[in-house]
C-alpha cells in the first residue's frame, strides 16, 4: 500500500539459495509497491512480489551495467518520493561490498525513511556450502573480508597487504576472479607462504556451485585450466584444507543437473523441493493446469444425493480437493459423508482425506486403479452404490471392473486437466542447446502435453539426446514410450517420494 512519504527497505537477498533469505526480507518483498533487484538476487524470490507491484532490474554483470550506481540511487529516491514502498533487493548483504551505505546516504539526504534488512553474505554462506569453516580453533580465530575488485594498476593500493599476509588467519576476497594473479602475487610478496591453501567457490549455494582448491603458488594456473569465471569468492588460509572432509553440498547426486518438472504448478512444490534437496536446478515447466470440469451439474447432483451411496472412492489428491471445494461451496460439510465408506488410492490421497477428518476404509497396496479393484474383491460390493469423483479424462478400468463386481458406479468428473505452456520457450531452448539433463513425468497427461509443446518439425530423438526421462509409474512410462520417449527411470512406489528415490538411486549408480 502506498504511503504519503514512501519508504525504502535495503534488503539482503542472500547468496543465491532462495531459502537463505531472512523472514523479514521476504516480508519486505511481499509488501512492496516497487521491487528493484540485482543480478545476484535469486529469481525465485520474485515469486513473492505482489502481482500489482512494479519490478525493475538493475543488475551489474561483468561491466555490463543496466543502470549506473548513481542511476540506481536516483531511481530509489524517485520511486520513494512518489509515495511507494520500495524494496531494494541486493545479492548477499547490502552493507558488505553491496554499496548499500551509499544508497542509504542518498535516502538520508532526500529525507526518505529507510530500513536495512541484513542478508547472509556470500563469504559466509558459500564457504559453509563448500565445507570450509572460516574460523576453526585448530586453525585461526581471525578473519578478514577484502574487496578483490581493486584496480591493480593503481599506484598505491588501498589494501594493507602486509597486514593481511601476516596478521590474519582467513581471508575472503569478493569479486576477485579477474584479479586473482594480482591478489596471490601481493600476498606472497608481503610474506604469506606460497603453499598457503586457497579455494575458489563459484555460484556458491546454488545448484551451479563449483569449488576449486590449490595454493597461492598454483591456484592461478588451476583456475585458468578449469576456465572458472566470476561470480566467485576466494578463500585463503589453512581452513581450506577442511574442504575435502567437510564438503556436503557438492556431494549431492543431482548437483548441477537441470531437471524439468512438468507437474501442474499448484502441485509441483513437493517435487521441486525434494529434487532441489538432491542438488538439482529445477526448471518448472507445468504442462497441465488442473481446473474444474466443464459442467459441474453431475457433481452437484451427486452431492445432493450423497445419502444414496455406500462408498466414495478417491483416486487422487486433486479428486479430494475439488470434491470438497464443491461440497463446501454448496453449503454442506463433511457431515454429509457420515455414513459412507471411503477408499483412497495411495497414502498421499489418504492423507489429504484425513485433513477433512476422514480415514480411508481401503488403502490399496499399490497406487493405481488395478490395485483398487483387487482391494474391493474382499468387499461385498454387489448391489452397492459407489461414487467415483475423479478426472474428466480418467482411465475406464476402475468403473468397468467395479461394475463387473455388481456395484452401481456413478463416475462424476470433479476436475479436468488442460494444456499449459509456462516456460515452454526456455524448455525448447534448453533441449536444443543441451542444457536439460532430465525430464520428470508424474502422469500420462503430463507426458502427452509435454510432447505437444515440442516443435513438430524437430526430431524427438535428437531433441531428447542425453536427456534422462523419469516416470512416476508404469502406466505413465507406457504412455511415454508410446509417444517415442526413452524412459530410463520408473518409480517402484508410485508417489513423489518414490519417484525421487528412484531418481536418487539412478543418479548414484551412474
All structural domains of the chain with their residue ranges: 7-120, 124-251, 258-287+420-509, 291-417
Share of the chain above pLDDT 90, in %: 64
Mean pLDDT calculated for residue range 17-34: 95
What's residue 63's pLDDT? 53
Q: Which class is domain 258-287+420-509?
A: alpha beta
> Is pLDDT above 60 for 495?
yes
Query: CA 356, CA 351: separation in Å to the nearest integer?
Result: 9
Mean pLDDT calculated for residue range 260-286: 87
What's residue 229's pLDDT? 93
- Please, is 143 exposed, middle or buried when counting C-beta atoms within 10 Å of its C-beta (0-12, 13-18, 19+)? middle
Cβ pair 94, 10 in contact under 8 A: yes
> Is pLDDT above 90 for 4?
no
Residues 12-21 have pLDDT tens digits of 999 989 899 9
Residues 220-260 have pLDDT tens digits of 999 999 999 998 999 999 999 999 999 999 999 999 899 99
Cβ pair 326, 296 in contact under 8 A: yes
What percent of the chain is helix, strand and coil (3-state, nearest 5)?
40, 20, 40
- Going by C-alpha positions, the residue among 182, 242, 178, 169 that lies closest to residue 211 is 242
What's residue 391's pLDDT? 85
- Please, is 126 exposed, middle or buried when counting C-beta atoms within 10 Å of its C-beta (0-12, 13-18, 19+)? buried
Nine-digit cell string for 225:
585450466
Considering the domain 291-417 in this protein, what is its CATH number? 3.40.50.10090
Cβ pair 197, 240 in contact under 8 A: yes
Query: Which pLDDT band, with edges at 50, 70 and 90, does 2 fall under?
Result: low
Q: Do domains 258-287+420-509 and 291-417 have the same CATH topology?
A: yes
Query: Which pLDDT band, with edges at 50, 70 and 90, does 172 fall under?
Result: very high
What's residue 382's pLDDT? 87
Residues 446-477 have pLDDT tens digits of 999 999 889 887 889 889 989 999 999 999 99
What's residue 365's pLDDT? 60
Cβ pair 7, 80 in contact under 8 A: yes
Cβ pair 261, 426 in contact under 8 A: no
Residue 38 is among the residues annotated as catalytic for this protein: yes
Query: CA 128, CA 133: separation in Å to the nearest integer?
Result: 6
> Is pLDDT above 70 for 360?
yes
**Per-chain mean pLDDT for the chain:** 90
What's residue 368's pLDDT? 61
DSSP state letter for 125: H
Residues 46-97 have pLDDT tens digits of 889 999 999 999 876 555 556 788 999 999 999 999 999 999 999 899 999 8
What's residue 456's pLDDT? 82
What's residue 59's pLDDT? 76
- At which residue does the C-alpha cell 479393484 appear? 373
Q: How far is C-alpha 368 from the chain's CA centre?
A: 28
Query: Which pLDDT band, with edges at 50, 70 and 90, does 416 fall under?
Result: confident
Residue 60 is among the residues annotated as catalytic for this protein: yes
Cβ pair 168, 239 in contact under 8 A: no
Rounded to 5°, the CA angle 332-338-339 comes to: 130
What's residue 40's pLDDT? 67
Query: Which pLDDT band, with edges at 50, 70 and 90, does 111 fall under?
Result: very high
Among residues 38, 90, 93, 464, which one is catalytic?
A: 38
Q: Which CATH fold topology does 124-251 show?
A: 3.30.950
What's residue 3's pLDDT? 53
Mean pLDDT calculated for residue range 281-291: 87
Residue 192 is among the residues annotated as catalytic for this protein: no
Return the CATH number of 7-120, one of 3.40.50.1000, 1.10.1200.10, 3.40.50.300, 3.40.1010.10: 3.40.1010.10
Amino acid at each position: 500500500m502506498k504511503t504519503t512519504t514512501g519508504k525504502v527497505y535495503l534488503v539482503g537477498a542472500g547468496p543465491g539459495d532462495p531459502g537463505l533469505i531472512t523472514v523479514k526480507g521476504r516480508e519486505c518483498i511481499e509488501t512492496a509497491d516497487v521491487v528493484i533487484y540485482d543480478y545476484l538476487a535469486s529469481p525465485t524470490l520474485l515469486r513473492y512480489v505482489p502481482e500489482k507491484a512494479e519490478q525493475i532490474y538493475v543488475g551489474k554483470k561483468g561491466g555490463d551495467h543496466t543502470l549506473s550506481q548513481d542511476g540506481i540511487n536516483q531511481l530509489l529516491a524517485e520511486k520513494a518520493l512518489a509515495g511507494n514502498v520500495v524494496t531494494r533487493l541486493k545479492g548477499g548483504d547490502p552493507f558488505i561490498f553491496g554499496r548499500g551505505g551509499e544508497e542509504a546516504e542518498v535516502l538520508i539526504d532526500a529525507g526518505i525513511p529507510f530500513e536495512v534488512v541484513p542478508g547472509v553474505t556470500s563469504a559466509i554462506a558459500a564457504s559453509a556450502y563448500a565445507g570450509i569453516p572460516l574460523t576453526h580453533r585448530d586453525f585461526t580465530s581471525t578473519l578478514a573480508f577484502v574487496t578483490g575488485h581493486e584496480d591493480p594498476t593503481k599506484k598505491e593500493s588501498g589494501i594493507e597487504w602486509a597486514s593481511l599476509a601476516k596478521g590474519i588467519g582467513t581471508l575472503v576476497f569478493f569479486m576477485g576472479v579477474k584479479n586473482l594473479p594480482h591478489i596471490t602475487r601481493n600476498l606472497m610478496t608481503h610474506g604469506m607462504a606460497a603453499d598457503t591453501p586457497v579455494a575458489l567457490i563459484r555460484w556458491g549455494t546454488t545448484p551451479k556451485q563449483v569449488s576449486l582448491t590449490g595454493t597461492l603458488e598454483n591456484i592461478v594456473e588451476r583456475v585458468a585450466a578449469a576456465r572458472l569465471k566470476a561470480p566467485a569468492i576466494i578463500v585463503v588460509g589453512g581452513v581450506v584444507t577442511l574442504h575435502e572432509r567437510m564438503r556436503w553440498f557438492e556431494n549431492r547426486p543431482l548437483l548441477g543437473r537441470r531437471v524439468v518438472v512438468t507437474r501442474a504448478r499448484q502441485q509441483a512444490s513437493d517435487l521441486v523441493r525434494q529434487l532441489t534437496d538432491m542438488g538439482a536446478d529445477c526448471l518448472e515447466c507445468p504442462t497441465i493446469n488442473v481446473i474444474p470440469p466443464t459442467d459441474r451439474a453431475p457433481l452437484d447432483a451427486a452431492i445432493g444425493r450423497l445419502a444414496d451411496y455406500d462408498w466414495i472412492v478417491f483416486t487422487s489428491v486433486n479428486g479430494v480437493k475439488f470434491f470438497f471445494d464443491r461440497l463446501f461451496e454448496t453449503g454442506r460439510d463433511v457431515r454429509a459423508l457420515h455414513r459412507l465408506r471411503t477408499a483412497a488410492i495411495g497414502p498421499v490421497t489418504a492423507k489429504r482425506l484425513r485433513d477433512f477428518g476422514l480415514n480411508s476404509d481401503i488403502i490399496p497396496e499399490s497406487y493405481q486403479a488395478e490395485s483398487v479393484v483387487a482391494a474391493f474383491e474382499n468387499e461385498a460390493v454387489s448391489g452397492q452404490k459407489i461414487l467415483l469423483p475423479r478426472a474428466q479424462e480418467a482411465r475406464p478400468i476402475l468403473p468397468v471392473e467395479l461394475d463387473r463386481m455388481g456395484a452401481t458406479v456413478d463416475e462424476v468428473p470433479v476436475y479436468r486437466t488442460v494444456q499449459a505452456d509456462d516456460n515452454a520457450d526456455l524448455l525448447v531452448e534448453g533441449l536444443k542447446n543441451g542444457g536439460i539433463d532430465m525430464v520428470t513425468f508424474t502422469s500420462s497427461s503430463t507426458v502427452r502435453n509435454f510432447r505437444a509443446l515440442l516443435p513438430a518439425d524437430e526430431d524427438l530423438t535428437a531433441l531428447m539426446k542425453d536427456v534422462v526421462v523419469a516416470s512416476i509409474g508404469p502406466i505413465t512410462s507406457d504412455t511415454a514410450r508410446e509417444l517415442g520417449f526413452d524412459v530410463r527411470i520408473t518409480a517402484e512406489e508410485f508417489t513423489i517420494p518414490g519417484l525421487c528415490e528412484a531418481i536418487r538411486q539412478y543418479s548414484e549408480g551412474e
